[in-house]
């Protein structure tokens, strides 16, 4: 066990998503299933499977801005739901990261309590640079305010102005990111899972939950039967010459790693996502060399670190409305670029490494 454990955030399934929300409320939210929402300056990813060529279905969308960073950051995880590819391994999965620079007028992100607390700290640091007060009246309706605020902002960096202009151009399109007509045309071809929001909780809240009532009742029965009390049990140890030894548990089915995994998630079995930036993943089975030797980031050549993993509970939660789609996995580990590199020229998306394991 590491001496200092990084804090882990758990994602739990929340309310279902109704309709098709648009605007910042859509891409600020983490959800599972549904249609991928895109950041205003970035096109929504529409990947296809490497094995069968079918379009991939969105598994999760995670909004996870980094601490001390001025970017909005969105991660999409796609998987192939075809029966042949559901056991295909990492080739049927794709992960995309998209980022865009934060504009201070977007006050509504402060209200995102369902995301990491990192986001709130991030805001305060960025506000000073722009010279605008974060206590100004937050406006939930943002779509039409961009144009006015961009012209009135002081000390605006050149890149930010460029961003603003693009935002302004994109606003007219972003107000209805997928026009209803286009959406219905997409859905027959695009596999979809029923969308739900993801709420975030701290792992520490669930760590100490173990129900010991039954064990206590069994102990009482044992004491009654044998006619000894707890203190007598302890004193036995002193008189014992130690022919019984401590034995390490050997589990005949499964392995020690899996047993530790089960123990760790026992407090909160319905967790679907574990987020721990540059933390340690919780392995399901013994990690192979593929995981221990990670390739470097393809954009900047930097190191890749663990960001989050998808848990097996998600498999039963991914249901589709009509087509009977399903994905199978043990756990998916997502490693991203350590520096979260993002080129100045806006590109649609950046690729990240993904990994999948499946137990029997």
Partner 1 sequence: MADDTNAAWGAKDKEWMPVTKLGRLVKDMKIKSLEEIYLFSLPIKESEIIDFCLGASLKNEVFKIMPVQKQTCTSQCTRFKAFVAIRDYNGHIGLGVKCSKEVATAICRAIILAKLSIVPVCRGYWGNKIGKPHIVPCKVTGHCNSVLVHLILMPRGTGIVSAPVPKKPLMMAGIDDCYTSARGCTATLGNFAKASFDAISKIYRYLTPDHWKETRTQAPAVATT
**Angle formed at CA 105 by CA 103 and CA 109, multiple of 5 degrees:** 80
Under rule CB under 8 A, residue 1 binds partner 1 = no
CB of 359 to partner 1, least distance (A): 5
172 vs 229, beta carbon nearer partner 1: 229
CB of 245 to partner 1, least distance (A): 6
242 vs 295, beta carbon nearer partner 1: 242
Which are the contacts of 152, defined by CB distance < 8 A and separation ≥ 6? none
Under rule CB under 8 A, residue 208 binds partner 1 = no
Q: Cβ-count burial of 147 within 10 angstroms (0-12 exposed, 13-18 middle, 19+ buried)?
A: middle
Under rule CB under 8 A, residue 286 binds partner 1 = no
Under rule CB under 8 A, residue 232 binds partner 1 = no
Spatial CA neighbour of 294 closest among 357, 352, 209? 352
Total residues in contact with partner 1, by rule CB under 8 A: 48
Under rule CB under 8 A, residue 213 binds partner 1 = yes
DSSP-derived secondary structure letter, 141: -
Q: Which residue has the tokens 């002193």?
A: 238
CB of 7 to partner 1, least distance (A): 23
* Residue from the set 53, 154, 246, 292 that interacts with partner 1 by CB under 8 A: 246
Under rule CB under 8 A, residue 242 binds partner 1 = yes
d(CA 8, CA 271): 12
Under rule CB under 8 A, residue 215 binds partner 1 = yes
Q: Which of residues 138-167 bind partner 1 (CB under 8 A)?
A: none
Under rule CB under 8 A, residue 245 binds partner 1 = yes
Cβ atoms of 349 and 98 within 8 Å: the answer is yes
* Residue from the set 137, 251, 324, 345 that interacts with partner 1 by CB under 8 A: 251
Binding mask 85-114 for partner 1 (x = CB under 8 A): --x---------------------------
The phi, psi pair for 194, rounded to 5°, reads -65, 130
Cβ atoms of 195 and 17 within 8 Å: the answer is yes
Cβ atoms of 255 and 286 within 8 Å: the answer is yes
* Residue from the set 128, 136, 202, 221 that interacts with partner 1 by CB under 8 A: 221
DSSP-derived secondary structure letter, 248: -
């Amino acid at each position: 066990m590491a001496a200092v454990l990084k804090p882990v955030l758990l994602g739990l399934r929340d309310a279902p998503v109704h309709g098709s929300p648009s605007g910042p409320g859509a891409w600020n939210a983490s959800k599972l299933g549904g249609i991928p929402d895109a950041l205003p300056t970035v096109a929504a990813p529409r990947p296809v499977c490497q094995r069968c060529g079918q379009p991939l279905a969105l598994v999760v969308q995670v909004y996870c801005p980094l601490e001390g960073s001025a970017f909005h950051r969105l991660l999409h995880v796609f998987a192939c739901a075809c029966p042949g590819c559901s056991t295909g391994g990492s080739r049927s999965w794709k992960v995309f990261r998209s980022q865009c620079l934060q504009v201070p007028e977007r006050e509504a992100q402060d209200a995102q309590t369902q995301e990491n607390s990192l986001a709130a700290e991030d805001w305060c640091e960025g506000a000073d640079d722009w010279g605008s007060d974060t206590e100004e009246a937050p406006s939930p309706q943002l779509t039409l305010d961009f144009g006015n605020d961009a012209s009135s902002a002081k000390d605006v960096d050149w890149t930010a102005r460029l961003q603003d202009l693009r935002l302004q151009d994109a606003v007219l399109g972003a107000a209805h990111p997928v026009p209803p007509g286009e959406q219905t045309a997409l859905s027959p071809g695009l596999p979809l899972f029923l969308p739900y929001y993801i709420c975030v909780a701290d792992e520490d809240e669930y760590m100490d939950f173990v129900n010991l009532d039954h064990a206590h009742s069994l102990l009482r029965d044992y004491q009654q039967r044998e006619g000894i009390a707890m203190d007598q049990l302890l004193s036995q140890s002193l008189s014992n010459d130690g022919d019984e030894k401590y034995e390490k548990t050997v589990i005949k089915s499964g392995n020690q790693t899996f047993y530790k995994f089960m123990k760790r998630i026992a407090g909160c079995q319905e967790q679907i996502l574990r987020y721990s930036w540059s933390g340690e993943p919780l392995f399901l089975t013994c990690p192979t060399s593929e995981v221990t030797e990670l390739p470097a980031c393809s954009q900047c050549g930097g190191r890749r670190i663990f960001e989050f993993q998808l848990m097996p509970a998600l498999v039963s939660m991914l249901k589709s409305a009509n087509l009977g789609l399903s994905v199978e996995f043990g756990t998916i580990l997502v490693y991203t670029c350590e520096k979260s590199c993002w080129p100045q020229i806006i590109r649609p998306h950046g690729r990240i490494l993904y990994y999948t394991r499946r137990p029997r």
